[in-house]
Structure 1
Amino acid sequence: MIPLSSSVVSGVALSKIDGEVKMLLMKRVKGGFWCHVAGSIEQGETGIDAIVRELKEETQIDVLNLYNAQYLEQFYEASVNVIQLIPVFVVMCPPQQEVVLNEEHTEYKWCSLEEALELAPFPNQHAVFKHVWSYFVEKPVNALYRVDIS
């Protein structure tokens, strides 16, 4: 048997950078690969609490406009024999969003979809980025996806 875990959340930050919508990718210290924001849900937190906290911790971005991406990342984590089910959120940032990384990442880049697909190594990341781009960049954002963070 392979247990399921849903103790992690992830988020894709979007911002207009020099007039073009871009998504934030960061290079992880652990593993050395490019990724979006992700982290564990702590005791007593909801998934929404966790993604708001993780974005602040990893990037110093204050989340004002949060959306449920209507997508679950899923992958098998061989080292612990667990299938991870990860709800994805989208953070709509103001133009020219500043980023201050914590110790978990060495660098960041605001990317077009094509750049993100080149940098990120995992097929599941590619699926997330394509989904987010399709529903949050190429189409008007559906108001039903908005998450109340008050």
Structure 2
Amino acid sequence: MALRACGFIIFRRSALLPDIEYLLLQTSYGKHHWTPPKGHVDPGEDDLTTALRETKEEAGLGREHLRMIDGFVQELRYEVQGRPKEVLYWLAELRDPGTKVILSSEHQDYRWAPLEEACTMAQYKDMQDTLRSAQKHLELQP
């Protein structure tokens, strides 16, 4: 059975920022890769609940800090140590662009980055494609 994880592509925008910026967290383990907040589904938990719980645990951002964007959910499928993994990402805007991110011990750093910088940091093509899809979705919003 595939491992399943869920999380959020979180972005912020304000009059002071020329571009939309995306939140990426740097892991404190392994190759210290950059990823949006996400984590594994607990038994009996639905996907969206997992995404909200993990975002709170990893970045200190709860439902009250986020505005979910309708009509966007991306599913990534890849292998981790020979096992299939599925990751669902929803899209959410940080309501107050000045809200502080509070990292858990799973991450050592975070950065808000415009699209192309975020894609460079993300490294993996499927994550880059997901970030670009999020940007396109936001550009089409009224």
Work out whether the TM-score is over 0.5.
yes
State how far apart, in whole Å, the 2-side matches of 1:70 and 1:39 are.
Answer: 16
The count of residues paired between Structure 1 and Structure 2 equals 135
Tell me how far 1:134 sits from its aligned partner: 1.0
Q: Which residue number in structure 2 is paired with residue 74 of structure 1?
A: 77
- The Cα offsets for residues 38-59 of structure 1, whole Å up to 9 and x where unpaired, read as 1001112100110110010011
- The Cα offsets for residues 42-91 of structure 1, whole Å up to 9 and x where unpaired, read as 112100110110010011112242246232111122x1x32222211112
Given that residues 16 and 96 in structure 1 are in contact (C-alpha distance below 8 angstroms), is that contact kept between their aligned partners in structure 2?
no
User: Matches of residues 81-100 of structure 1 in structure 2 within 5 Å?
Assistant: 81-94=82-95, 95-100=97-102
CA-based RMSD of the aligned residues comes to 1.7
Q: Does 1:13 align with 2:14?
A: no
State how far apart, in whole Å, the 2-side matches of 1:112 and 1:70 are.
Answer: 20
Q: Does 1:27 align with 2:26?
A: yes
Given that residues 65 and 93 in structure 1 are in contact (C-alpha distance below 8 angstroms), is that contact kept between their aligned partners in structure 2?
yes
Q: Which residue number in structure 2 is paired with residue 105 of structure 1?
A: 107
SS of corresponding position for 2:20: strand
State how far apart, in whole Å, the 2-side matches of 1:131 and 1:6 are.
Answer: 23
Q: Which residue number in structure 2 is paired with residue 135 of structure 1?
A: 137
Unpaired runs of at least 5, structure 2 = none
Unpaired runs of at least 5, structure 1 = 142-150
Given that residues 15 and 97 in structure 1 are in contact (C-alpha distance below 8 angstroms), is that contact kept between their aligned partners in structure 2?
no
Given that residues 73 and 91 in structure 2 are in contact (C-alpha distance below 8 angstroms), is that contact kept between their aligned partners in structure 1?
no
State the one-letter code of the partner of 1:93: L
Q: Which residue number in structure 2 is paired with residue 56 of structure 1?
A: 56
- The Cα offsets for residues 8-33 of structure 1, whole Å up to 9 and x where unpaired, read as 11211111253342110111011211
State how far apart, in whole Å, the 2-side matches of 1:22 and 1:97 are.
Answer: 13
Q: Which residue number in structure 2 is paired with residue 114 of structure 1?
A: 116
Q: Which segment is superposed worse, 15-24 or 27-36? A: 15-24
